[in-house]
Chains A and B, each alone.
Chain A
Amino acid sequence: MLSKDSHLSDQELLLAADGGLPPVRAEEVASHLAACWTCRVRKGEIEEAIRDFVQAYRGDLDPLLPSPAGPRALLKAQLAEMTAEMASPTQSWRAWRSHVATLRYAGAALFVAFLGLGIYFSPAFPSRRGLHVVPMSFPEPSLTPGVAVAVNPEQVCRSTRPKNRIVPASLQRRVFEEYGIAGAEPRAYEVDYLITPALGGADDIRNLWPQSYSSAVWNARVKDALEDRLHDLVCDGRLDLATAQRDISSDWIAAYKKYFETDRPLQ
């Protein structure tokens, strides 16, 4: 029982406001509040502080939240991958047979590549689904325009996220389908982020493309060097993040030449 001369603690006032008191105690607190101006005023102050905090919390953080579409698609792909991995032996056998079939496709695709389709993929890259093509060094802009999340340079530079993450196999398959090479051998390509996550690139299929390992000159290692260079420039404050994202997504080879001041890869 509360004495008329004593006052409620902030802790009890908060528990009362949040409905966290046991029923008997809640009744005692309610009757005390009805009689005590001081405690009522204090309760009002605490509720006002809660309102202020929630307003500041939401107001500051909500504008930073990126669209859920990319992360949602990535999660679905990863879940499908995990389900497939846990499939029954019968399904594994089917997967193995399908794998053998894709090896045949990949052999044919690489053979065509060696016959001389060129090391640089044409900008007039076919974009229709189902068309068998061999992407080399350059993504198709209509399929892979490059997508970035809303981040500022500070967030990019202090991120501990690995520069290049492994894209789940199911998402890789979707990229291959988009590019019309559904039957290709996954090991012949690196499904790469056009805008690297280290520069704010999104986990979004529109930011992924199959980069061929068979390219002798403008290959994945050269692009990795460009990504490191751009990251350093952005974090040293010598290059605007938006410019880095735009340059790497519009023509990464031209960006390499520009930022390394060379016409050929340095290595």
Chain B
Amino acid sequence: MPTPLEEEIVALFDQMRERLLRYLLSTGVPVHDGEEIIQEVFLALFRHLQRGKSRRNLRAWVFQVAHNLSVKHYLAKQRDRQNLGGSGAALVDDSFVDQAPNPEDQLSRNQRHARLQSVLRALPEQDRRCLSLRAEGLTYREIGRVLDMSLGAVALSLARSLARFARAEER
């Protein structure tokens, strides 16, 4: 029989798993690894609550732990690439952002989408993470907590990215 805390964790998993996984995929984490990271996040949440620690803004807490684990994943991949003799220059591994759309793909997309993808490809990683978190409904304050940025820096990053999109539309 599950304990009330187990049930609470599973209910939070039901609420947040899709949004967390989408965010992780948007940062280039493969589906398998994303699912694994999410398991780790909710087991960590279980331990956190079992120890009687703060329940304040669990949404931001969960995203923050997922983000930290995804950075660890990112660094592990970077090490793997360096061990394999890669230059380590192309660190961003994008599953959301198309790597290099082939002509067939390009034809199948409308021009607007293609323009958006090219802007996204050019964005710094932190700006893309800000955008993804905002698309997942996090407030500026929550994004700042997850990515360890000030409120002003979050607003500036989002404004900079959206201005790039808007400029691309004007062309």
Contacts from A to B (Cβ < 8 Å)? 9-11, 13-15, 18, 20, 42, 45-46, 48-50, 52-54, 56-58, 60-62, 64-66, 68, 71-72, 74-76, 78-80, 82-83, 86, 149-151, 155-156, 158-161, 197, 200, 203
Would you give the 0/1 interface string for B75-97, flagging 1 where the beta carbon is closer than 8 Å to chain A?
Answer: 01100100000000000010110
Q: In the complex, are the beta carbons of A79 and B31 less than 8 A apart?
A: no
Q: In the complex, are the beta carbons of A78 and B3 less than 8 A apart?
A: no
Q: A residues within 8 A CB of B39?
A: 71, 74-75, 78
Q: In the complex, are the beta carbons of A197 and B32 less than 8 A apart?
A: yes
Q: B residues within 8 A CB of A42?
A: 166
Q: In the complex, are the beta carbons of A79 and B10 less than 8 A apart?
A: yes
Q: In the complex, are the beta carbons of B31 and A149 less than 8 A apart?
A: yes
Instruction: Point out the residue from A11, A72, A79 that lies within 8 Å of B2, measured CB to CB.
Output: A79
Known: A74-B39, A159-B32. 13 other contacts (CB 8 A): A10-B160, A13-B159, A48-B166, A49-B162, A57-B22, A57-B26, A64-B25, A75-B9, A83-B5, A149-B35, A151-B30, A155-B32, A161-B33
Q: In the complex, are the beta carbons of A64 and B31 less than 8 A apart?
A: yes
Q: In the complex, are the beta carbons of B77 and A160 less than 8 A apart?
A: yes
Q: B residues within 8 A CB of A48?
A: 166, 169
Q: List 16 A-B contacts (CB under 8 A).
A: A10-B163, A14-B155, A18-B140, A48-B166, A57-B22, A57-B135, A58-B135, A60-B96, A65-B21, A68-B14, A75-B42, A79-B6, A156-B32, A158-B30, A160-B33, A161-B36
Tell me which of A52, A66, A74, A83 has the highest count of chain B C-beta atoms within 10 A of its own C-beta.
A52
Tell me which of B18, B30, B112, B156 has the highest count of chain A C-beta atoms within 10 A of its own C-beta.
B30
Min CB gap A43→B, angstroms: 10
Q: A residues within 8 A CB of B113?
A: 56
Q: In the complex, are the beta carbons of A159 and B2 less than 8 A apart?
A: no
Instruction: Point out the residue from B18, B32, B43 that lies within 8 Å of A149, measured CB to CB.
Output: B32
Q: In the complex, are the beta carbons of A155 and B10 less than 8 A apart?
A: no
Q: In the complex, are the beta carbons of A150 and B162 less than 8 A apart?
A: no
Of chain A, the residue at the smallest CB distance from B116 is A56
Q: A residues within 8 A CB of B64?
A: none
Of chain B, the residue at the smallest CB distance from A50 is B162
Say yes or no for B61: interface residue by CB 8 A criterion: no
Q: In the complex, are the beta carbons of A62 and B10 less than 8 A apart?
A: no
Of chain A, the residue at the smallest CB distance from B10 is A76
What's the Cα separation between A86 and B17 when bound, in Å? 26
